[in-house]
Amino acid sequence: MLKRTSLVDDVVNAFLKDVKEGRYQYGEKLPSQKFLSNHYQVSLIVLREALSKLSAIGMVRFHQGKGTFLVDSQDRTSEVSSDFSSLIFHDINNLRSIVEARQVVEQKNCYFAAERRTEEDLKEINQTIEKMDQNLPNYNEFAKWDLEFHISLAKASKNIALQKITLLLIDSYRNEVPKFYQIPGVIEKVLQEHIDIYDSIRNRKGLDASNTMTAHLELPEKVFIEKLNSQK
């Protein structure tokens, strides 16, 4: 018999899959808890714990008297990340701090993902790589799926705190990423590094995945810092 914590994680993963497949629309009210508990075939207690977990990572929002709503990924950290982003790209010391924080967080995401990933996690990560490959000439679409790759790694880590921090860090870079891919040769290099990270996670080689991620982050962070220096 599955433990309640396992059931809760199963519901969370099933819900995220349904979101990805378009069953629920961003910004719209979700069906009733009774409907959801029947749909996922769990008790109301388990369903509520799963919704609480989804709320903790910013996927859903509770409105008293109105119900539960699915939050758009662009809005999950909008208020915080807006101030955060403007602060970062106007101060070299703040940017260095964020660069160092991202290195630590992304390394841990990779390490934990290699230990804890499920087959569903692997499918999601691989799908982002396939989307990147399909959009090689399109900088904006490539960048979108690049960021989704990193978000998928955070989800696979099964660490809610790391997931929220990852979203915050990624949103601070979001508008700058497409420009980075206009540098000749970069887009192909990034794609291959993502493939290498995925392979390490699939083979449960956490240290290899972490080391590849460290190398993967070096060039974009160097470019961002050089850009900020040139604006002074």
| Banded pLDDT at 97 (limits 50, 70, 90) | confident
Tell me: do 125 and 197 sit in the same domain. Answer: yes
CA distance 152 to 131: 13
Tell me: do 48 and 113 sit in the same domain. Answer: no
Encode pLDDT of 12-68 as tens digits. Answer: 889 988 988 889 988 889 999 999 999 999 999 999 999 988 887 778 999 888 899
Q: Name the token pair of 209.
A: 């995945």
Residue scoring higher pLDDT (177 or 226):
177
Tell me: do 94 and 193 sit in the same domain. Answer: yes
Tell me: do 178 and 123 sit in the same domain. Answer: yes
CA angle 128, 133, 135 (to 5 degrees): 95
DSSP 21-49: TTSS-TTSBPPPHHHHHHHTT--HHHHHH
Residue that terminates a domain, selected from 70, 92, 108: 70
User: CATH no. for residue 15?
Assistant: 1.10.10.10
Are 229 and 93 in contact, with CB atoms under 8 Å apart? no
| Banded pLDDT at 1 (limits 50, 70, 90) | very low
Q: Phi and psi dihedrals of 13, rounded to 5?
A: -65, -40
Tell me: do 20 and 122 sit in the same domain. Answer: no
* Predicted pLDDT at 111: 96
Tell me: do 49 and 116 sit in the same domain. Answer: no
DSSP 183-201: STTHHHHHHHHHHHHHHHH
Structural domain boundaries, residue 179 = 78-230
Tell me: do 43 and 156 sit in the same domain. Answer: no
Residue that terminates a domain, selected from 41, 70, 99: 70
Residue scoring higher pLDDT (73 or 170):
170
Tell me: do 103 and 65 sit in the same domain. Answer: no
| Banded pLDDT at 79 (limits 50, 70, 90) | very low
Tell me: do 182 and 115 sit in the same domain. Answer: yes
Give pTM, 2 decimals: 0.64
Single-letter code of the amino acid located at 163? Q
User: CATH no. for residue 197?
Assistant: 1.20.120.530
Tell me: do 54 and 130 sit in the same domain. Answer: no
Residue that terminates a domain, selected from 70, 93, 127: 70
Tell me: do 99 and 30 sit in the same domain. Answer: no
Domain count, the chain: 2
Tell me: do 97 and 178 sit in the same domain. Answer: yes
Residues 128-147: b if buried by 16+ CB within 10 A, e if exposed: bbebbeebeeebeebbbbbb
